[in-house]
Amino acid sequence: MKIIYNNILPFKGYIAINICGILFARRECKPLVDWMINHERIHTRQIMELFVVFFYLWYVIEWIIGVIRYRDKKQAYLNISFEREAYKNQFNLDYLKQRKPYSFTNKEKHP
């Protein structure tokens, strides 16, 4: 995975952002640990499955619905389908080898 460490993207307080499969990470977070990279690789797979644009659209729409539903930005973020899948499986470094397509549609709430 291509990782670009820099001081601009993402904004302070965040660690990394995945833009079309390229990972932008804060310089002070260098080097990212393997499970963080695995988390982002899971997102890359989701991004490809949704032809990039639908991933970002769906991501934002689900977040907005979550903010209304949970009245909490962090809970809203953690319960975006893509994040649920990524958080649930980030420590399993072999996850992507066994993953079924479109696994983010699994509707289990984030603990």
86 binds Zn ion (CB under 5 A): yes
Among the candidate windows 56-64, 67-75, 81-89, 96-104, which touches Zn ion by CB under 5 A?
81-89
Smallest distance from Zn ion to CB 98, Å: 19
Q: Pick the stretch among 27-35, 58-66, 68-76, 80-88 that binds Zn ion (CB under 5 A).
A: 80-88
Q: Cα(36)–Cα(111) distance, rounded to whole angstroms?
A: 19
Q: Closest approach of Cβ 60 to Zn ion, in Å?
A: 14
CA 69 distance to own-chain centroid: 20
- 3-state SS, residue 37: helix
Using CB positions, name the residue nearest to Zn ion: 86
